[in-house]
Amino acid sequence: MTVTPSFFRPVAPPQVIENAYTEDQHARLLGIVRDKGPWSLILAQHFKSPDEVIATTSGSVPEGFTPTWDMFLNPVFRGYYGKGQTSLHPEIEDCYYNHKFLDLVRGYWGAEYARPEGMLFNIQGPCQGSASPHLDATRYRGISMHNSPVWLMNTMTKTGLFERWRQKKAQVVTWYYKGRIGGGFNYWPEGPQAQPKQINAPMWGRAVVVENEMLFHTAESNGPAAMRKPEGLAINSLMEPDPDSADGWQITTDGKVIQKVPAEEFRFLVHWGAEVFMGYEELKTALEHTDDLTHDQVFDMMIDDLRARGQTFEVPTDPMTDQKFIGLLTRVYDPGKPAFYPPEPEDIAA
């Protein structure tokens, strides 16, 4: 049984804006990336097993199949500018406590209040777009990135059981990419079984205001196909500036350089997120924690729903990490792989 595809619709379609950051802000944001690295893979930071990766995407695997890291490795690396309501770097506080962005997300929701919730960046060279679009981790009152894995929050969203506690959120996602091949943004605004849409590159400071927790999306493939999965890429690979180039980058595994990435193939994404509150009572409930979920409550509700659906299973002693149980949740609540994909970008010689 799957969730009705129409469930996965953002509060409003993505709204495109240009010149999200000033040239000076962009330079400072990129400067932190160059000065504070190296940076590890997104996969390495957020997932303890391949099963958890599957739980965050669309599409599942047959019961008994054992997924491996190689199924998901993509050379996309991540770091953070801010967490919670705190900027981690004083030099970009104007980017984090961003009045323009706060106005945008309030307008996007028609809400009265908003506050910064987090800010991160993704960096990459040539890369294959994901065949399994994903949702961003959804925060619930009492359940957040600070105390819960990404797979759990995404699975909670797919169940539809926890809407009462779901925190309204919005993002301003900005790209800097001048490559000749792909590099856009693919998304499914009417759910993963409906037609996708695409925001095309090149884009330099182009952004979308969006609710990525309810919008299946993924990056479009970018760069020459022969360079998209460098030989030697592993779960512990790192990305950092190339010491032999003023503006290039390199990917290493165990200290060995496995790929040089020229500036013209470098794709830089800045993801700013905010929590949104429609009115004072909603804000007050969140601030005073008068209606928070607990992990025990979450798993009790999931287990009750699985039983109501006729599922037979052994209740795990540690549902947070039990791979068999995570696989069951994925199979039951998975909305299915998208029925339609945008065309792949036309490749040209590297």
pTM of the model: 0.88
Name the residue ranges covered by the structural domains of the chain. Answer: 5-333
Tokens 């991540």: give the residue.
78
- Indicate if the alpha-carbon torsion angle 139, 177, 265, 131 is positive or negative: positive
Q: Give residue 82's pLDDT band: very low, low, confident or very high (50, 70, 90).
A: very high
Query: DSSP H helical segments within the chain, as ranges?
Result: 23-36, 42-46, 50-56, 93-96, 99-109, 150-159, 280-288, 295-308, 323-333
Q: Give residue 1's pLDDT band: very low, low, confident or very high (50, 70, 90).
A: very low
Q: Are 75 and 251 in contact (CB under 8 A)?
A: yes
Phi, psi of 84 (to 5 degrees): 60, -135
pLDDT, position 209: 98
CATH number of 5-333: 2.60.120.620
pLDDT in tens, 36-57: 999 999 988 866 666 666 666 6
Give the list of residues 6+ apart from residue 340 with CB closer than 8 angstroms, or none: 194, 195, 196
Extract the tokens encoding 6: 């129409």
For residues 332 and 54, give the distance between their C-alpha atoms in angstroms, rounded to a whole number. 13
Asked whether residue 58 carries a pLDDT value surpassing 60, the answer given is no
For residues 10 and 277, give the distance between their C-alpha atoms in angstroms, rounded to a whole number. 16
pLDDT in tens, 2-46: 444 456 889 999 999 999 999 999 999 999 999 999 999 998 886
